[in-house]
Amino acid sequence: MKLWGGRFTKPTNQLVDEYTASIRFDQKLAAFDIQGSLAHVAMLAKCEIISQKDADTIAKGLKIVAEKIENEEAELTEANEDIHMNVEKLLIDEVGAVGGKLHTGRSRNDQVALDMRLYLRDALVTITELLGQLQQALYTQAQQNLDTVLPGYTHLQRAQPVLFAHHMMAYVFMFQRDMERIIDSWKRVNRSPLGAGALAGTSFVIDRHYVAEALAFDGVTENSLDSVSDRDFVVEFLADASLIITHLSRLSEELVQWSSAEFDFIELDDAFCTGSSMMPQKKNPDVPELVRGKTGRVVGHLMGMLTTLKGLPLAYNKDMQEDKEGMFDTVETLKGALALFAPMIETMHVKKEKMYEAVAKDYSNATDLADYLVVKNIPFREAHAIVGQTVLYSIEQQKYLLDLTLAEFKQFSDAIEADIYDVLAPKSVVNARNVAGGTAKNRVEEQLKQAEALLEANHTWIKEKSTILQKLTLDK
C-alpha cells in the first residue's frame, strides 16, 4: 500500500510506477530532504503540534536514515516514487507509526520546492568557489605576462596588437559578471517555501519563519500558490550556467586555436591533453574541446525548463518533475568543467616569442600609421586611404610596414618622418592605447588592481556562505 493509497481501490499499473517515479534521479536530494525534515519536525514540536517526545524520536530516526542512505545501506525503490516518500517509508520502518507524524502540515509540493532550494544553494557556493579559482588562474597568467604582446583579432583576422595580459583580463572580467549574477541570484534562491502546503497553506498553526531561520534562509516566500509552482530560481540558475559555459566555450575555442601548429601561441600541459590511437605524434586539446561541446547540453537544459513551464497553470503540476534532471546535470557539467579549467590555465605554457613574432609579421600597426598622419593634421579619412595604399604596396613588395624605407613611406605622404619606426614598433603600438580599459601596460596594471579587489570581495562572500552551510551540516 502506498503512503497516499487510502483513496484508491487498486494498485497503480507497474508501467505507471516506472514512468512517474523520480527516485532514479531525485535521490540526489536525500541529504537536503532530511535536513529540511529535521527543521520541520523541530518546528512541529515548538508549535506543540506534536509532542517533544515524538519529535525527538523522529529526529533520531531521520539521522539513522540519513546515515544509511549515505552509506548505501538503505533500499530506495520506485514503488515509493520519490525521495520524500522513500525517506518517510524508511523512517517509519525505523521508528514505527510515529514516523507518519513527520508529514503533518506539509505537502510534497512545498517539500520538493524546499529541497531544490537547499540543493541549489549548496551548488551555488561550490560553483562560485570553482569560478573564483579560474579567475585567479587567469589573473596569475596576466601578472606573469605583462610584457607579452599578442595579435588581437576581429573576424579572426589580425587587427591590432594587445598584451596577452590584457587578453587574460578580458576573461577575468567576463567571469566576474558570471560571479555577480550567481551572487545576486542567491537572494531569490534563499527563501523558504515550506509551509505553503500543496498550494493553499495549512490549517495547522505552524511557524514558517522558525523553519526558515533554522535552515539559514533569508526569509519565507510570500504566496503559497507561487511558492509551490515557482521554478524561476531554477531557470535563473540554468541561464547563469549557460552564460558561464558559453564563456568557457569561447575561451576553449581560443585555446584550441592557439595550441595548433598554425598559431603555436601556447602549449597545454600534458596532464590536460590526450593522444591518438593511430597517430603517435598527436597531442589533442580534448578538455577545451569537450567543454565547448557540452555547452549545447547546458543551453538545452535551459530551453527545456522554459518550455516545460510555459503552459503550466497554478499551482503544482506533475510536469514540474522535469525540473530536476536538467538542473542536476547542469550542476555536475559546470562543476566538472570549472574544476578542470583552473589548473589547465594555471599550467599553460605561453610562447612569448611566437606571439611577438606573429605581431612583428603582420599589418596590425597600420592604424597607428593613420593616427600618426592625423597628428600631422591630415584628416583621418584621408589618412586611412594613404595607409591603405601603403599596405597594398607593402603586400605587393612582400614587406611589412617596418621593413619599408623612409623613401618608400614618403611615396605616400611627405608628412612621414624617421620617428615612424618608433611609432610602429609593436610595444609602442600597445602602449599608445593609454585609455581607461585599454591595452597599454599601465592600463592593464590598473585592471589587475581592480580585479584584485573584486576577487577578494568574491572570496569573502564565498567564505561567508560556506561557513553558514557548513554549520548547518554540523548541526544536523
Catalytic residue set:
155, 276
**Integer angstrom CA distances of residue 268 from 144, 151, 203, 254, 402:** 16, 19, 62, 12, 33
Q: What is the CA radius of gyration of the chain?
A: 30
61: left (phi over 0), alpha (psi -120 to 50) or beta: alpha
- CA 296 – CA 75 distance, rounded (Å): 35
Residue 458, CA distances (Å) to 30, 126, 129, 440, 465 in order: 29, 13, 9, 27, 11
Spatial CA neighbour of 109 closest among 311, 321, 394, 272: 321
